[in-house]
Structure 1
């Protein structure tokens, strides 16, 4: 048995054909989904990257592990917490990863026989680099039972797809640098601009058309899709495609100007928390299965452990893969086999990076409570009717106070049950260190001789560029 777990960083579900997108971003991903199971309503309980992946490898949400912030120096994950690669290695699997999350936290390298750090001189990691590291390793271990984690970053900013991929997603004859187009002004004059200046804007050029950025994102997805096709063709060539459990997921999505978020992944809105998830295992997972109920990323760990326990394999001690106690995730196998439809009646959501918030997503409604809005303007509470308002544009918190109160009480009760008397790690983070990303932007502003409060009163691109340029010249 081979297990390949693939993280598709920053991949938004609604930009894939399998989730209803009309543009040709994902023909191979759609093919994989058609050969296995696609989870229509998969959610990232914790965003962004650090907390999402910690949940994937522990089967536990942030409130259970205590890891609720991205990039915080306060968080640690004890080695006593069961970790998926470690469990599989102890059971006899050869384990490997092509990943760079070790740069963020040491625990992401735990449990691997081989950890191939894909980090380079550029934050942007080409999927071709991932394949160049992964494919020889797969060939060398094709006769072994292995677990391989692959982390693709192509859909993450900066959006720098090969030029040949762009025309399919950008209207012919349209000029991305048209001086008469002012659709980029809101992004250029957002309080977060100094943080994004280099990777979002300088590397792409003086774009005036925001639609061009959306096209670049789509082009990156198509480029990623082609890299996944290369990987899949390699499995077929080696004759191991049929025995490989392939699991693909987005760690979080991406906002493309929605809710005042410009090509980034914060906010507990659908573009960022609704993620793709699909699995293929020929002969074990029925082809063409679609699960419409709620599932979460933390469900993948118990699902993988059960998959191994279902197989009788020489050299693998499946008894060591009993489900660890205290996991929040639930096995997806009942949904895969058709005896259930999802693993949760609702999902709870959390973030603590650019802003700090928690939320609850029910079948029809979403409630969000903001603790710290960071560089954004957010009301304390938000309530959306996703049936009537899928874009989450009409806040009903004031007009439907009884419903908002009920959902807030449900959220509070759930948080209290998970903490079970422990201190809330989000409250500790905000009290002792503040928002991790706000601290970063404050450092950037300080280098330009500006304060956070001063900048937020007048966040003009020209003002920051002028201040930064003056200091550089001096």
Structure 2
């Protein structure tokens, strides 16, 4: 809906006159780094010819944060501004604007009959009192919703996932290099599965298998990025919630953010991991102690009713940086992080005991996958699927310590976890699951077929253009399908050094036949969406690429040297040695030009080195070789095209990825602002804000949108709120445009000293932000400091020695009625860049 215009404030005549000149000047603004608003802009602010600056280009797409109080209804998202996420860990409202209205918000309703019955059921479970059960049965009939669990028991359920934890690095599994008293206690009081396996070697798909009981090829989540769990797939949390459980999920990695769909079914889902741009996905994490603190706040609220707690710890995922005292206690940092994770588990157990719920609780401890640790040439876990990556710890502590100390030697899989929980509760699992009840596993009897556990690694196919891998564990045999297949006998060769495929040719043929029967096709979002496919075809991205490659694909294990080179480049980027990182990535791409990941990293490096045109080409190449599947690369192309003022192309690229990347709505909002379509900008901003998660880019775009309507007080107030939410994040370059827009809003209110400070902060954060210099120059002219105008514009062209900066200086000087100085600057620029089209156009307009 059209935005309501605020009334004009009384202004000094001189200010009105200068603002009119600024509006006239906007029609000519077309700087390379900060594209201009159209001439029809009626924002009327000093130096506002840059009101549509491209936002920080390293902000990554994110799903919406899902945080609800039990029993409360989520606030509506109809008005722009709703859907903002505050900086606190637990907020009662989901927008900054709504928080200002919190005192007028309706109170959360009183507990319903289901809550009361569930609380009583929990009490019955703890007391084991038949008399109370009889009284409950004879009492008033519960509501239909409360009765869904039937006569099933309802113990507290705690699922602990310790990311990247190898089973053979725990004392419970025979390792002597670390002490883990809490996990040892769980093993002693529970059932330990000696040979449990993950279905996949990356975090999000593995947790999707844990929650659904399905293989990745069945639930459809195949990678950490670009996939979302379909709402039609039943999940453990949703099923438990349907049967009366309070459900809370608390995660330590951005990979498991609610926007991936993994949080569905949780009434409270805390994914409040500190976000910073320019960091790799797997590095965005928080300490397990912080996650536990948030979890226990929630557990304290629901301890008197049946509850399901999912606690995810990211130790010992790389980078291995154990906190004290574990860093000093262990020479191996991976072991130190394992010990740190164990300490968090120990604190959780202690807190559950203090609440009196531990003894009755069903506690499951597992890991999503293991870690390579260079056993087969890979330090982490993204490529290969040998035993050290697939075999994981799995321990189940039953209520009242039933079956304590038991060890199960039969092969288990992570998709067995959900069926086991359903079994303990007496609930029927969803119709289709790949898993079976863990607690019923026994060794196969003579003559019985052995169980086959299927796993996969598609990361090398998606990100490197190499062959995917598949795996079957059957009894003592482990088969790995690849261009050079392998087969190992685990009992005699647990380190998998001796490939016996020639001796086991019949078994290998049988395993290949089994894998051939499983539809493991990598379903591209492009292939599933005809409209997106047509758009990508029109943009020229479906004519080739890694998916269209002909002939056999490289075997990943033969390319581990390339993985090492990419790791070196990543470390160089992390240390700030961008020149060496660029050289390393160029060398990799000489050997492997189809590497999507390398092209994306190169684009990032070139951006940081302030070479946007080359960065655009690198991202284009990544998007091309992925045949349009590299969503983040496509989003970067859209952002950089907008930076160049190529609005139509930017819009088409954003539309090509918007279904998979909600942050593309922010680019579409900026494109609408370019074309003076405030209504369309508002619609896209609503979507971008709803899906922004911890990213602030859409809020910064909203500042420009408010300024365009002369809503300067709102803009300044919102900038305060964004800064408060941003907090102490280190990636402050994101805020360059915020300070530019903030300066515009403050100057328009007559708060010139604050506006000047904002412009100077914008320049300090983003020296390439040309609009900040010209806006500061206008402010200096307005306040009678003409001598400072020249120094500011000189600084701009000195720091940014390119045609765009000189063109910006020329336009600013012309707008300030100083044509002589403008002509002098233009002449100097044309002597340096006589073919620069932007300068030639300015020369022709004199």
Q: TM-score, normalised by structure 2?
A: 0.43
Q: Does structure 1 residue 97 correspond to structure 2 residue 97?
A: no
- CA shift, 1:79, in A, is 1.4
- CA shift, 1:427, in A, is 7.0
Q: How does 1:34-433 map to 2 (within 5 A)?
A: 34-67=188-221, 69-73=222-226, 75-99=227-251, 100-103=254-257, 105-121=259-275, 123-170=284-331, 215-283=332-400, 285-309=402-426, 321-335=427-441, 345-354=451-460, 356-370=468-482, 380-398=484-502, 400-413=504-517, 415=518, 419=519, 424-426=520-522, 431=547
Does the 8 Å CA contact 2:250/2:271 hold for their aligned counterparts?
A: yes
Give the stretch that moved more between structures: 352-361 or 35-44: 352-361
Aligned length: 389
- CA shift, 1:472, in A, is 3.7
What secondary structure sits across from 2:317 in the alignment?
coil
Note the alpha carbon deviations across 1:84-125, whole angstroms, 9 max, x for none: 111111111111110244537531121111111131146232
Does the 8 Å CA contact 1:255/1:266 hold for their aligned counterparts?
A: no
Higher percent of residues as helix? 2
Distance 1:470 1:141, change over 3 A: closer
Does the 8 Å CA contact 2:224/2:255 hold for their aligned counterparts?
A: no
Distance 1:118 1:409, change over 3 A: same
What secondary structure sits across from 1:89 in the alignment?
helix
Note the alpha carbon deviations across 1:134-183, whole angstroms, 9 max, x for none: 1121112110111111110011011111243134432xxxxxxxxxxxxx
- CA shift, 1:218, in A, is 0.3
Does the 8 Å CA contact 1:266/1:272 hold for their aligned counterparts?
A: no
Does the 8 Å CA contact 1:10/1:265 hold for their aligned counterparts?
A: no
- CA shift, 1:60, in A, is 0.8
Does the 8 Å CA contact 1:58/1:298 hold for their aligned counterparts?
A: yes
Q: TM-score, normalised by structure 1?
A: 0.74
What secondary structure sits across from 2:475 in the alignment?
coil
Does the 8 Å CA contact 2:450/2:474 hold for their aligned counterparts?
A: no
Does the 8 Å CA contact 2:162/2:366 hold for their aligned counterparts?
A: yes
Does the 8 Å CA contact 1:265/1:272 hold for their aligned counterparts?
A: no
- CA shift, 1:456, in A, is 5.3
Note the alpha carbon deviations across 1:220-264, whole angstroms, 9 max, x for none: 000110111011000111111112111111000011111110133
- CA shift, 1:399, in A, is 5.8
Distance 1:282 1:47, change over 3 A: same
Does the 8 Å CA contact 2:229/2:260 hold for their aligned counterparts?
A: no
What secondary structure sits across from 1:264 in the alignment?
coil
Does the 8 Å CA contact 1:366/1:383 hold for their aligned counterparts?
A: yes
Distance 1:455 1:124, change over 3 A: farther
**Alpha-carbon distance in structure 1 between the residues aligned to 2:353 and 2:605:** 53
**Alpha-carbon distance in structure 2 between the residues aligned to 1:220 and 1:271:** 17
Note the alpha carbon deviations across 1:404-456, whole angstroms, 9 max, x for none: 3333223324x2xxx4xxxx433758737999xx99x7998998272644155
- CA shift, 1:340, in A, is 8.2
**Alpha-carbon distance in structure 2 between the residues aligned to 1:82 and 1:388:** 40
CA RMSD of aligned residues (A): 3.5
- CA shift, 1:395, in A, is 2.3
Rg comparison, structure with higher value: 2
**Alpha-carbon distance in structure 1 between the residues aligned to 2:288 and 2:368:** 16
**Alpha-carbon distance in structure 1 between the residues aligned to 2:350 and 2:382:** 31
- CA shift, 1:354, in A, is 3.4
Distance 1:271 1:141, change over 3 A: same
Q: Structure 1, unaligned stretches of length 5 or more? A: 171-214, 310-320, 371-378, 458-463
Does the 8 Å CA contact 2:477/2:487 hold for their aligned counterparts?
A: yes
**Alpha-carbon distance in structure 1 between the residues aligned to 2:523 and 2:301:** 47
Give the number of the structure with larger relative contact order, counting CA–CA contacts within 8 Å between residues 6 or more apart: 1
Q: Structure 1 runs of 4+ off > 4 angstroms?
A: 338-341, 427-430, 432-435, 441-447, 467-471
What secondary structure sits across from 1:7 in the alignment?
strand
**Alpha-carbon distance in structure 2 between the residues aligned to 1:306 and 1:404:** 35
**Alpha-carbon distance in structure 1 between the residues aligned to 2:256 and 2:163:** 15
Does the 8 Å CA contact 2:191/2:407 hold for their aligned counterparts?
A: yes
What secondary structure sits across from 1:380 in the alignment?
coil
Q: Structure 2, unaligned stretches of length 5 or more? A: 1-154, 276-282, 462-467, 526-545, 555-561, 594-600, 612-846
**Alpha-carbon distance in structure 2 between the residues aligned to 1:285 and 1:265:** 37
**Alpha-carbon distance in structure 1 between the residues aligned to 2:234 and 2:321:** 37
